[in-house]
Structure 1
Amino acid sequence: MARLVTNSLQLCISQLKISSKLLDSRKSPCVQCIRCYRPRKPFWLPMAKSKMFRITKKPSIPTEERIELERLYNVWRTNVKSIQHHFKEQLMAQTTGPEVIEERRQRALEQQANCVRENDLWNAEVAKLREERLARDAAVREKEIQAALAQHERKQKALMELIDDNVRKEKEAAKTYITPENIDEAIENALSSIVDHNFCIDREGNIFKGRYGKPPTSPTDKKPTMSHASPERQNTQAVEASS
């Protein structure tokens, strides 16, 4: 059986070598082009009119030759099946054997260890970058806090100056406040110095200060005449002034 498998393998290899040599000799860039390489009528054209009604005669094969062909076909089929079974066993041994499984397990463990090692390196690099970034952020934050504290101190200083100014003004204004000690004096001053803010102006421009006041005699208290007054009005005012 082993000799039969070996002979079949050698036959297949020799056929493959021959076919590869033929392909190399034809210099064909694609296997698809080999199908129509034979100089014949393309398969998409219809049947010729001269062969339309021709009936081909079925070839008659002798009995001895037919039996021999069947025997050769059975031998070829048996060889092909044995080769397929041999390849299948080798493939199963390569995929399901204990040595293969152990090798795969060791390879998976090594790959996992390499992944863990690479992950640790990445984590260390990222941690270093994170520490640098946090240090930069802390420095920027410290500068911002210092600037905020300085601004707060300036605001507090300006506020204290404003408060001191207001307190000083209030102390100066407190000297004129009416207290229980000087209320009698304030009443006497108010009664002795009456201030009346009422005033009125007549048609001639005279100013009457107070509710019952009389027109002043000084010309400074009079309102000046309008520049756009009529000539008749100006003459009347001149006569009244002379009289």
Structure 2
Amino acid sequence: MLRIMNSLKTMSLEISANTPASTNINSIRWRRNPRKPIWKGTAKSKIFRVPPRTVIPQEEADEIKRLYNKYKTEMKTITRFFTSKYNIENQQKDDQDLNKKEFESDLEACMKLNDEWNAKQKVEREASAAVELEKSIQLAKERRKITEERRQQRLNEAEEIVRREKVFAKDFISPEMLDAAIEKALANPVDHNFALDLEGNKIVGYETPPLPKETASLKQ
């Protein structure tokens, strides 16, 4: 393990010294040609094989532990450094006056943008309301026209009925003419028991006395 870490350290130094910063390094785990690709899985002959545990010499284990502790210490130091640095920057940004000014400027910009949006929405709303009002007016006019046409039609029908009834009312007997109509009916009895021959002559009933011109031709 120690040899691998030393070789990686040497390789990283050589790459950083001889290659540009834009060079990409792709690590592979099957560098040797006879090695099987990693995506083909475990061979059937090695499924139940338990490899022996690698025995690391004590000196190498101590060196690995020392390097690991050194790595953790350096990483912790770097983390604390950046934490302290960004805390100082955040403390400077947390100044009350600065925050108040930023808040006021941000609020003013938001209010200005909100006023612009409101003005735009007002114009669109007024235009939409005008269109809707025009549609409502046109619809009301059409409904009123239809209502007037129906009312005029009903009025014409009523006038036609009144006109027909007036024509029929000429033969009606008014209360003032009732006595005269009764006397006329009594003076001129009518026998509805009559017949018509093939020539269209009216033949009155045998109980009714013949009247003048009663047997006149009724041909149409």
**Normalised TM-score (structure 2):** 0.54
Please give the alpha-carbon distance, in whole angstroms, between the structure 1 residues aligned to 2:183 and 2:72.
Answer: 149
Q: 1:141 to 1:71 in 2, by over 3 A?
A: closer
Distance 1:182 1:75 in 2: 138
RMSD of the alignment, in Å? 4.5
Q: State the 1:138 CA deviation.
A: 0.7
SS at match of 1:179: helix
Matched, 1:137 2:136: yes
Which of these residues, 31, 34, 37, is aligned with residue 39 of structure 1? 31
Give the structure with higher Rg (CA).
1
Per-residue deviation, 1:211: 11
> Contact 2:193–2:205 (CA<8 Å) still a contact in 1?
yes
Q: Distance in 2 between matches of 1:72 and 1:182?
A: 139
1:148 matched to 2:161: no
**Secondary structure class of the residue paired with 2:109:** helix
- Confirm or deny: 8 A CA contact 2:173 2:181 kept in the other structure: no
Identity %: 8
Counterpart position of 2:106: 107
Kept in 2, the 8 Å contact 1:196–1:210? The answer is yes
Q: Which residue of 2 aligns with 1:97?
A: 95
Number of paired residues?
A: 170
Distance 1:116 1:136 in 2: 30
AA matched with 1:141: A
Letter aligned with residue 135 of structure 2: R
Distance 1:194 1:73, change over 3 A: closer
Structure 2 residues not aligned, in runs of 5+: 1-12, 195-203, 208-220
Say if 1:151 and 1:195 are closer, same or farther in 2 by CA, change over 3 A. closer
Residue 23 (structure 2) pairs with residue 25 (structure 1): yes
Aligned CA distance change for structure 1 residues 71 and 164 (closer, same or farther; 3 Å): closer
Q: How does 1:1-243 map to 2 (within 5 A)?
A: 24-26=22-24, 34=26, 36=28, 39=31, 52=52, 55-59=55-59, 77-78=76-77, 80-94=79-93, 96-98=94-96, 99-174=98-173, 179-190=178-189, 193-196=190-193
Unaligned residue ranges in structure 1 (runs of 5+)? 1-14, 29-33, 198-208, 213-243
